[in-house]
Amino acid sequence: MKIVAVNAFLKDLALSKPYTIAWETISKVENVFFEVILENGITGIGAANPAPEVVGEGPADALEKLQKVYGDTLVGKDIRYFHQYIAQTRQQFPDSPGTQACIDIALHDAFGQWLGIPVADYYGRFHERLPLSVTIGIKDEAGTLAEAAAYRNAGYHVLKVKTGLDVSADVQRLKSIRKSFGDYFTIRVDANMGYSLKDLEYFLSATKTCGLELIEQPLPVKEDQQLDALPAATRKLLAADESLKNASSALSLAQNNRYGIFNIKLMKCGGITGALAIAGIAAPAGIDLFWGCNDESIVSISAALHAAFSCAHTRYLDLDGSLDLAEDLVSGGFVIENGYMRTTGAPGLGFKKM
């Protein structure tokens, strides 16, 4: 089955509610989309929202490559050999994970639709559903509790609380959540590199009674070697995020046993192929998988979900990046019921273009 056309474009997606993290307030997100059209009319769609401050490439950079450099070389190719084209993309653009992700996801979606099965089933499914965490940005105590209450009313059971601006205020917010809601919520924390080692040690001590499930990237990337001073049991609860970009960094982190959890984001590693390479390194090292995201379209969120469900050591889902979008290019892709997330069962990645 031949590829007869490709198409790349940007779309600015507004957020229904802006939020604050350790270094900025976000109100809208720009995504780049890539379409692969087969001769029988099947259209595979890829999308990306890479963060320039993390990977050195933004959506506009990816669009330029997709439009001017690579897209047309796919025309006339057989979709059955899509892994070959993904490998060529990764070789041609080794430092462009957004470009890689767009092509990787679109080809996976097209191939899955052509084959007539979900992408997760193509790789071998290990999970049918997992609890989804929903994110509370950095805000005051009252705002934090109000948002937590709204999530409880919506049926969610796992919170990811953003921290990193004021460690004392962070501790108070977490204690207030636990006091107000008891054991209803599982609580994860994402410091977005906002702590020093001294801050982290204080935070760990002060939140012992909060029963935190894990802590994402507490220290800046260039300082995370300081984590080696912490007990092994503590490091087991830490998730590498900004320090984990691709298989190369995964290999290094696995060797030094610095983190017990890998936060895999398709926007950092270049799509499903890159994600599964990281997963393959984590498995023999005994590292659990946490699947995260940026503010992304349903397209790339669905791709991450299919990759997550094809890995036996997936433990955590943080794929809420499309829930606060006021608009999107597609619908479907996944189903959320009682705080649990699952795929739709439809071929490919399971979404439909609106």
27 pLDDT exceeds 90? no
pLDDT, tens digit, 9 for 90 and up, residues 105-149: 999 999 999 999 999 999 999 999 999 999 999 999 999 999 999
Measured between alpha carbons, how far is residue 294 from residues 29, 146, 305, 323, 324 in Å?
9, 23, 14, 11, 11
Mean pLDDT, rounded, for 296-304 = 97
pLDDT, tens digit, 9 for 90 and up, residues 244-260: 999 999 999 999 899 99
Sequence letter at residue 295: D
d(CA 121, CA 306): 8
28 pLDDT exceeds 80? no
What integer best gives the mean pLDDT of the chain? Answer: 95
pLDDT, tens digit, 9 for 90 and up, residues 99-108: 999 999 999 9
The predicted pLDDT at position 53 comes to 83
The predicted pLDDT at position 244 comes to 96
Mean pLDDT, rounded, for 324-335 = 94
The second-level CATH assignment, the architecture, of 121-353 is Alpha-Beta Barrel (3.20)
- Residue by residue, DSSP assigns 100-153 as HHHHHHHHHHHHHHHHTSBHHHHH----S-EEBEEEE-S--HHHHHHHHHHHHH
311 pLDDT exceeds 90? yes
Among 21-35, 50-64, 314-328, name the most confident range.
Answer: 314-328
Question: Taking a C-beta distance cutoff of 8 angstroms, is the pair 347, 320 a contact?
Answer: no
The predicted pLDDT at position 175 comes to 98
d(CA 225, CA 256): 9
Helix, strand, coil percent content, the chain, rounded in steps of 5: 45, 25, 30
pLDDT, tens digit, 9 for 90 and up, residues 167-211: 999 999 999 999 999 999 999 999 999 999 999 999 999 999 999
Please count the CA atoms within 13 angstroms of the CA of 292 that sit on its side-chain side.
26
Mean pLDDT, rounded, for 22-48 = 88
DSSP H or E segment with residue 353: strand 351-353
d(CA 79, CA 92): 19
Q: Enter the DSSP assignment of 244.
A: -
pLDDT, tens digit, 9 for 90 and up, residues 214-248: 999 999 999 999 999 999 999 999 999 999 999 99
Domain residue ranges in the chain: 3-116, 121-353
19 pLDDT exceeds 90? no
- Residue by residue, DSSP assigns 318-343 as ---TTTTBS--SEEESEEEETTEEEE
0.85 surpassed by pTM: yes
CATH superfamily of 3-116: Enolase-like, N-terminal domain (3.30.390.10)
End-to-end C-alpha distance for the chain, whole angstroms: 25
DSSP H or E segment with residue 27: strand 25-38
